[in-house]
Amino acid sequence: MKMNIVNIIYQVILITVLISFFIFYMIVGGSAGIGYCEGGQYFVGNHGDYTEVSRTVWIISYVLEALFFITIAVIPIGGILITKIRENKKRKK
């Protein structure tokens, strides 16, 4: 029972991060990782086009992008761990 709850929470967090990143990317018009900061002005980039944004929006974009790539790395690791835990529980029974 506890494993199902952990699995659901894990999936909800992953989906939330992925959707948040893509929605924010589309609304803002780019990504801080592709953009740049120059002379106190902040720009997000999208395939060579740059849009000026506030510092706060640039930081949020940067954090969401970092979370996105961390999440992508965690997906297979989390899946492997959940599978191993389930296998160990089956062996104990």
Summarised one tens digit per residue, pLDDT across range 9-23 is 878 888 888 899 899
Q: What pTM was estimated for this model as a whole? A: 0.73
Find the farthest-apart pair of alpha carbons in the chain and give their distance in angstroms, rounded: 64
Per the prediction, the chain carries an average pLDDT of 87
Query: Exposed, middle or buried: residue 74 (CB in 10 Å: 0-12, 13-18, 19+)?
Result: middle
Q: Report the alpha-carbon distance of residue 90 to residue 11 in Å, rounded.
A: 22
Of 66, 53, 1, the residue nearest 27 (C-alpha): 53
pLDDT in the model for residue 55: 96
Instruction: Please give the average per-residue pLDDT across 43-72, as a whole number.
Output: 92
pLDDT band at 83 (very low <50, low <70, confident <90, very high): confident
**87 contacts 3 by C-beta, under 8 angstroms:** no
Of 59, 82, 85, the residue nearest 9 (C-alpha): 82
pLDDT in the model for residue 29: 92
